[in-house]
Amino acid sequence: MLLYYFRLAMLSIKKTPLLSFLMIATIAVGIAATMVTYTVNYMMSQDPVPGKSERLFTVHLSSWDPNMGYRIKDGKEDIPIFMTYQDATNLYADKKAHKQTIISFHKAMVRGAEQPSGQATMTYLRPTTHEFFSMLDVPFLYGSPWTEYDDSQGSMVVVLSKKKNEQLFQGQNSLGQEVIIGGSIYRVIGVLDDWLPLPRFYTENSDAYSEPRGLFFPFQSSINNDWFSGTDGSVYCWGGVDLIDLDAVKASECVWLFYWVELESAELRNEYLAYINSYAQEQRELGRFQREQMNRVMNVAEFIEYNEVVKKDGRIAVWLAAAFLIACLLNSMSLMMTKFHGKGAEVGLRRAVGASKVDIARQFFCETLIIGLSGGVIGLALAQLGLHITAQVYSYLHSELMDMNLSLMLLTIGLSVLSSALFGLYPIYRACQIQPSSQLKSL
């Protein structure tokens, strides 16, 4: 019987091609608009380190100027999301967490040792510590992270992203090759596989949806090289410092380093915070940390929320798109009313020869499902097109954001079928209520 209804539905769609096309197109456009915005928003709100994000914490300290607060956020005093050099290195040396890492930034001219110096390009760099890779589950294609020893010595070793390795070494296994970074020779000890944590949560929110930086090397080596620049990251200072002099910055209250720890379990959070507070207390006794203490640790989700990495207007856009979808569905609903109304004679006839109201409802429900399914398939295609265009327009955002995974594709089709069925209920109800006698008399 179901097959019969589907055959009738196909015949009916063929019989009124324009009306059917309008219905399908209306649904498809609404579905596409909704799914484009939803996909971007959904991909932006993914867990960037699944299975681990509850155990990764960033540490924020109340080390700011006793005479003036750092800033006001949501009507309350707030503390920096960065750390001073002294605090980062003190905490790092303590190694109180299961793992900890300092994340810094720098930029310099970079080229392969074999390349002529004219081919060097200005490149954003990521000085950090060796734990960074295991803490963030970063996959390696060749080699491995540097060691604790390299961190302590500031060895001149570098890990390249897959893309950077393609740029510098045509994607070859480049272990042992040399890269000239800002005039210093670094030896390649690792090449990453594809790695795109979305959002890129571990630094500032402005970087959240761009590609990770392509060169990683020991933080200590950037210190040894006297590398410091405030132009590709944030540095906030109080108490008058000469930013040209790295030694002065190291001793200052300038905040610029991100500090992340991995705990063995999320439950150890309070214990770790107690340690941070006691560290702050020690510093207070030494004359620092004179403001009211608001030290805190934030896990990945909390920091993403706090940092407003997922923009609120993104969510509003999804609601607007959903409202647009409803408008489309209402439109399609009125087309459906027209269509089913035009089938009054057929309904009357079928009722006369023995179809019950339920039979009629089933027949039209099948037709609605086919319309919804077609709308979903075309909507999916339109959404892909829309995402493609969005990816071009917002080329600074990572294109991974504009990619539907399988479950989103299924969601697209499911949403279309379900919403069409829902908005088809009333037209179907009306069609069932047609008095057979009234239709037959007029014929």
Ligand X SMILES: Nc1ncnc2c1ncn2[C@@H]1O[C@H](COP(=O)(O)OP(=O)(O)O)[C@@H](O)[C@H]1O
Footprint of ligand X (CB under 6 A): 438, 441
Q: Which residue has the tokens 């020779």?
A: 185
Q: Which is nearer to ligand X, 281 or 438 (CB)?
A: 438
Compute the least distance from the CB of residue 414 to ligand X, in Å: 43
Which of the choices ligand X, another protein, none does residue 213 contact, using the CB cut-off of 5 to 8 A by kind? none
- Confirm or reject binding of residue 429 to another protein (CB under 8 A): no
- Confirm or reject binding of residue 435 to another protein (CB under 8 A): yes
Token pair in block for residue 329: 């569905």
Give ∠ CA 321-326-328 in degrees, rounded to 5.
95
CB 348 within 8 A of CB 436: yes
Which of the choices ligand X, another protein, none does residue 211 contact, using the CB cut-off of 5 to 8 A by kind? none
- Confirm or reject binding of residue 14 to another protein (CB under 8 A): yes
Helix (H, G, I), strand (E, B), or coil: what is residue 346?
Answer: helix
Window 301-360: residues binding another protein (CB under 8 A): 345-346, 349-359
Compute the least distance from the CB of residue 299 to another protein, in Å: 59
Residue 183: count other Cβ atoms within 10 Å of its Cβ: 10
Q: Is 14 exposed, middle or buried (0-12, 13-18, 19+ CB in 10 A)?
A: exposed
Which of the choices another protein, ligand X, none does residue 281 contact, using the CB cut-off of 5 to 8 A by kind? none
Q: Which is nearer to another protein, 333 or 431 (CB)?
A: 431
- Confirm or reject binding of residue 11 to another protein (CB under 8 A): yes
Q: Which is nearer to ligand X, 218 or 436 (CB)?
A: 436
Compute the least distance from the CB of residue 357 to another protein, in Å: 5
Q: Which is nearer to another protein, 56 or 432 (CB)?
A: 432
Long-range CB contacts for residues 381-387, cutoff 8 Å, separation at least 24? 382/28, 382/29, 382/31, 382/32, 383/31, 383/32, 383/35, 383/36, 383/39, 383/412, 385/32, 386/32, 386/33, 386/36, 387/36, 387/39, 387/40
Helix (H, G, I), strand (E, B), or coil: what is residue 290?
Answer: coil
Compute the least distance from the CB of residue 437 to ligand X, in Å: 7
Length of the chain: 443
Q: Which is nearer to ligand X, 172 or 438 (CB)?
A: 438
- Give the amino acid at 224: N
Window 169-188: residues binding another protein (CB under 8 A): none
Helices (H) and strands (E) in the chain, counts: 15, 13
Q: Which residues bind another protein (CB under 8 A)?
A: 1, 4, 11-12, 14-15, 345-346, 349-359, 435-437, 440-441, 443
